[in-house]
Amino acid sequence: MARARTKFIMGGILVLGTAGYLMATSIGDTGMYYLTPGELTAKVKRDSTFYETGVKMGARVVPGTIERQPGGRAVSFNVTDGSQTIPVTFRGVIPDTFTDSVDVVVEGRYNRNGTFVATTLLAKCASRYENAPDKYQSTPAYKASKGPAA
């Protein structure tokens, strides 16, 4: 009786151990730094291998900097976190939600010439399910409802 239990536990450890091993190695292989432009700039200053390392960068698109190539398949724009501004280029499917001042998450490499070459581009609305017009956004009620974060 106890032997069955021991065997079961050993089997369970084997299964979970394999899963754990896979988790640990694949985090090493596929895990990516998630940085803001300021953090990315600081990282590459300290350690130049961060150039050309795949990272994710979350920031806000600077209004008026979006230049779409004809055909809607490539785009360049600047992003900022308030402290640093980094130019980004992207080729691929541009999401419907991508526009001035949205928060974007780009995945790609930071070039030595100071451009972020993105391979994926995710855009999110301040809230994807919300679309408050500019004039509402300046009302006190709107500001109050958004809390100090906005």
**Which residues contribute to the site for another protein (CB under 8 A)?**
1-2, 4-5, 7-8, 11-12, 15-16, 18-19, 22-23, 25-27, 29-35, 39, 56, 58, 70-73, 93-94, 96-99, 105, 122-133, 135-136, 139-142, 145-147, 149-150
As given in the structure block, the two tokens for residue 127 are: 């809230």
Q: How far is the CB of 25 from another protein (least distance, A)?
A: 8
Specify burial of residue 67 (Cβ count, 10 A radius: 0-12, 13-18, 19+): exposed
The answer to whether 80 and 37 have CB atoms below 8 angstroms apart is: yes
Q: How far is the CB of 64 from another protein (least distance, A)?
A: 16
- Which of residues 78 and 98 has its CB atom nearest to another protein in the complex? 98
- Which of residues 113 and 140 has its CB atom nearest to another protein in the complex? 140
- HSE-up of residue 122 (Cα within 13 Å, Cβ side): 9
User: What is the DSSP-derived secondary structure letter of residue 39?
Assistant: H
The answer to whether 20 and 27 have CB atoms below 8 angstroms apart is: no
- Which of residues 105 and 117 has its CB atom nearest to another protein in the complex? 105
Q: How far is the CB of 27 from another protein (least distance, A)?
A: 6
